[in-house]
Amino acid sequence: MKRTIYIGYDPREAAAYSVAVSSLSRHLSEFIPSHALVLDDVQARGLYRRPTERRDGRLWDVISDAPMSTEHACARFLVKHLAKGGWVLFMDGDVLVRGDLAPLFDQFDPAMALYCVKHRYDPPAVGKMDGQVQTRYARKNWSSVMAINCDHPANRALSLDLINTAPGRDLHRLCWLPDELIGELSPAYNHLVGHNDGALDPLVVHFTEGLPDMPGYEDCAFAEEWRAERRRQAA
């Protein structure tokens, strides 16, 4: 079975991406091709055609009439088209991987179209990292770490046309899939710092509201591990 991993890249969070990549690679027990998901790249390849603008220094999605918290906010749904078969795991760039993710692929049931942590997440409608707006929608944060079965018939609906025309909130709530085709991952695979059970020993830590190098988040949970990974790169 083909296995691929994509990690979202945003130039404003280059340090976060480097931590995500190095922590993933350091723990993998077998080789799995891993790639950066870069907006400029998928635009140049003609895959991403959503109109965007810069408003007050923020990238704005015209279709959604809303700001994009990262450049890969909607581009993530292209990973099915980039991987071209098998299972593809997408992760946001603001994660720290603390364990081996290779065995995760062996858990996937081919009858399922997608796997994710099914967060019960209802944040207040206030700001989050880097002055971004905290948006509410169904299945919030489910798409921040997700494994897509590229060969499942139901995912044919995740077409380039849908990706390039649907409002972002509909894509993030996995609008093309019914509940019964979405498998549930353990919360250990997408631990939302500050929102999930602090007693959990997660494999993937997600700094969804702010990274440890941002003012106000220097002392958040797992911040020292994140900084240690940064130091490891510089050594």
Read off the pLDDT of residues 120-151 as tens digits, 9 standing for 90 and up: 866 554 444 554 444 655 898 999 999 999 99
Name the percent of the chain lying above pLDDT 90: 85
Q: What is residue 130's predicted lDDT score, i.e. its pLDDT? A: 52
Query: Measured between alpha carbons, how far is 3 from 227 in angstroms, rounded to an integer?
Result: 29
Topology of the domain covering 3-234: Spore Coat Polysaccharide Biosynthesis Protein SpsA; Chain A (3.90.550)
pLDDT in tens, 181-235: 999 999 999 999 988 776 679 999 999 999 999 999 999 999 999 999 999 987 7
Give the model's pLDDT for residue 185. 97
Q: Domain spans of the chain?
A: 3-234
The least confident of 21-25, 57-61, 121-125, 165-169 is 121-125
> Which range, of 16-25, 50-59, 130-139, 164-173, averages the lowest pLDDT?
130-139
pLDDT at 218: 97
Residue 47 class from Cβ within 10 Å (0-12 exposed, 13-18 middle, 19+ buried)?
middle
3-state SS of the chain?
CCEEEEEECCHHHHHHHHHHHHHHHHHCCCCCCEEEECHHHHHHCCCCCCCEEEECCEEEECCCCEECCCCCCCHHHHHHHHHCCCEEEEECCCEEECCCCHHHHHHCCCCCCEEECCCCCCCCCCECHHHCECCCCCCCCHHHEEEEECCCHHHHHCCHHHHHHCCHHHHHCCCCCCHHHEEECCHHHCEECCCCCCCCCCCEEECCCCCCCCCCCCCCCCHHHHHHHHHHHHC
CA dist 56 and 48 (Å) reads 23
Give the C-alpha distances (Å, rounded to integers) separating 39 from 26, 43, 107, 149: 25, 6, 30, 22
